A and B are shown apart, each in its own frame.
Chain A
Amino acid sequence: MAGAASGELTGGAGRRVAAARLARLGEWIPWVVIVGLGAWAAIALTDQFVIGVIVGSLYALSAVGLTLIYGIARVSHFAQGDAMMLFAYLAFFVMTGTVAGIGSADATLPLSLDLLPGASEKLWRFSFGYGLILAVIAAALLAVPILLAIDRVVYQPLQRRGASTAIVAVASLGVAITMRGAMLLIWGPGGRRYAKGIRDTVDLPGLPRIVADQLFIIGMAAVLAAATYLLLYRTRLGTAMRATADNPDLARASGIDTAATRRWTWAIGGALTAVAGCLLALQSQLSPELGFVLLLPIFAAAILGGIGSPHGAFIGGLIVGIIGEVTVGAGIVAPGYKLAVTFVVLILVILRWPNGLFGARS
């Protein structure tokens, strides 16, 4: 009898071990599916895959900013898409000095980066000169005080009075609408581009022909992603940022000035947002309406990766970008459904893992 009992026990333990193994296997299934589909797309639909990586890397940068702001400042920042566009317009303004005039003609200020000697002469095969690079840096620097001011005037007072996250999110929607209004007022409703004329292409071995500007975009995105990673995981400030996102009270109890950490988060998140916006405008165009269109895939990316997780947001951005381009490119859906496919994938993922791919597993 004792033997039977112990046999049962072993059987139960065996089943538990097997169940645990199966659960661990289950953890890997989405990754096998994601990497498998990605590899298939990269081979069968290389052109669309490359575009997906480009667009996705920009979603990724912005989503990292969004997820940091959510994690540390506890703001669901619905103004993220419009902020990207606004900062892209600021770069345009600094570079060209152009604002919309009364009537149809533009007014151009006598002061701009393009007036510097050779600033608009094309670099390598890019469509732009060093003026744009300076303008992007200027936009990233301008983004910092703008977002710090908005945090101080709008979000912090609300949070101090105990406003819920929903109230703060709605306030950020108000900020988004204000930003869009400012863009419409200053630069008009029409689309604009950083550079006019034909875009040069480059041939890379084993890859489809690619516009030179797109190489610049991917390179910048990769450099910024690496820099952000090093900052978050290899510096004292970055660790303090992650600690504050993880447990704000314990961060204070450890002597971390969480108010300063919050300011750093807006600064870093804002700079990332600005560069992502400028690069996106370089890839497509400047348009006041584009910001809101961007908001959905960026939120999808951050949620897919697990809101609050920077590397999750980055991978989420790439996945969202690639899914959108590849499903349309493969003729699976009409272009109008690009975002719908992304959201179907998002819903499937969060039905199984409510905290996203890299979120906390309860």
Chain B
Amino acid sequence: MSAVVAAPPALAAEGITSGYSETPVVRDVSLAVARGEIVTIIGPNGAGKSTLLKTIFGFLRARTGRVRVDGADVTGLPPERLVRRGLAFVPQTDNIFASLSVRENLAMGGFTREDGVEARTEWVLQVFPVLADRLGERAGRLSGGQRQTLALARALMLEPSILLLDEPSASLSPVMVESVFANIVEINRRGTAVLMIEQNARQALAISHRGYVLTNGQNRLEGPAAELLASDEVRRLYLGE
């Protein structure tokens, strides 16, 4: 007779409404990310994807709705507090400290760690060996792909349980896009859930477990990534087929 209680999702957004001015950009949007999942949000430009992510991560205040991490209500917590709850965020642009060295970028990624910065740096360099020879270099001198790698590496310094990514493949060459997606799969394989926004819908869904489609700031479709990829509506509207 013991009641089976499902574990709460690692991250849940419930009925989020938010925006910058009087008119909200995001209206009553809900989503959930389970432990170990890769979830992609797709949708046309201006659908409110970025706004939603910034609201979840506390840069914007939600007008209504709740954000939960492992079931605990974290609505309204600022980013610097949310990182202590296991959330990490990689912005689309300006996602490294350009004037700091690569090593300092990683150290700042691990800023709130009491100890183990060295060990975690070693771990991150093992995942991203390309950064190992460039530790002393100013991050602003890295190439576009290396910057994106460093941005991911910085975000992983706190061993987050959920990684939020805002268009990780934007403005990268096709080869680099593949490498960034391979990195995301690797990060996920090592135990971090991922919630990302992508323009590159096909490739992103191909590595995802589930997906959400947002239009006009509202939930439109959701489901397993493979089903979304196969759906006529998604193919027509977002995959250009």
Contacts and interface: CB of A to CB of B under 8 A. Distances in A.
Interface in B80-138: 80, 83-84, 88-89, 91, 94-100, 104, 107-109, 111-112
A232 to B, nearest CB: 11
Contact of A240 (B59, B84, B91, B111): B111
Scoring B84, B107, B111 by chain A CB atoms within 10 A of each residue's CB, the highest score goes to: B111
Contacts of B79: 249, 252-253, 255
A165 interface: no
Interface in B130-189: 140, 154-155, 158
Interface string B195-237: 0000000000000000000000000000000000000000000
A262 interface: no
Nearest to A256: B111
Interface in A81-108: none
Given A246-B99, A246-B100, A251 B108 contact: yes
Contact of A255 (B83, B91, B104, B140): B83
A242 B155 CA distance: 18
B111 A254 contact: yes
Contacts, number: 68
A258 interface: yes
A106 to B, nearest CB: 49
B104 A239 contact: yes
B98 A254 contact: no
A257 interface: yes
Contact of A239 (B88, B100, B112, B155): B100
A236 interface: yes
B111 A255 contact: yes
A35 interface: no
Contacts of B88: 253
Contacts of B109: 254
Interface residues of A, number: 18
A255 B80 contact: yes
Given A250-B91, A250-B96, A240 B108 contact: yes
Scoring A246, A251, A257, A360 by chain B CB atoms within 10 A of each residue's CB, the highest score goes to: A246
Interface string A244-276: 001101111111111000000000000000000
Contacts of B112: 254-255
Scoring B80, B91, B109 by chain A CB atoms within 10 A of each residue's CB, the highest score goes to: B80
A243 interface: yes
Interface size bracket, B side = 20 to 34
B24 interface: no
Contacts of B108: 239-240, 243, 251, 254, 256
B61 to A, nearest CB: 14
Given A255-B112, A256-B80, A258-B80, A250 B94 contact: yes
Contacts of A243: 97, 100, 104, 108
Contacts of A255: 79-80, 83-84, 111-112, 158
Given A252-B80, A253-B57, A255-B112, A246 B97 contact: yes
A157 B104 CA distance: 32
A254 B160 CA distance: 11
Nearest to B157: A254
B78 interface: yes
A242 B98 CA distance: 10
A240 B110 CA distance: 11
B94 A247 contact: yes
Contacts of B57: 253
B107 A242 contact: no
Contacts of A256: 80, 108, 111
A249 B94 contact: yes
Contacts of A360: 98-99, 140
B97 A250 contact: yes
A243 B95 CA distance: 12
B80 A247 contact: no
Contact of A253 (B91, B100, B104, B140): B91
Interface in B47-80: 57, 59, 78-80
Nearest to B94: A247
B107 A236 contact: yes
Report the 4 A-B pairs with minimum CB-CB distance, sorted nearest first: A255-B112, A255-B83, A252-B79, A246-B97
18 contacts: A242-B99, A243-B97, A243-B104, A246-B100, A249-B79, A249-B91, A251-B97, A252-B78, A253-B91, A253-B155, A254-B83, A254-B108, A255-B80, A255-B83, A255-B158, A256-B111, A258-B80, A360-B140
Given A242-B104, A251-B108, 4 more contacts: A242-B99, A250-B94, A254-B108, A255-B79
Interface of B: 57, 59, 78-80, 83-84, 88-89, 91, 94-100, 104, 107-109, 111-112, 140, 154-155, 158
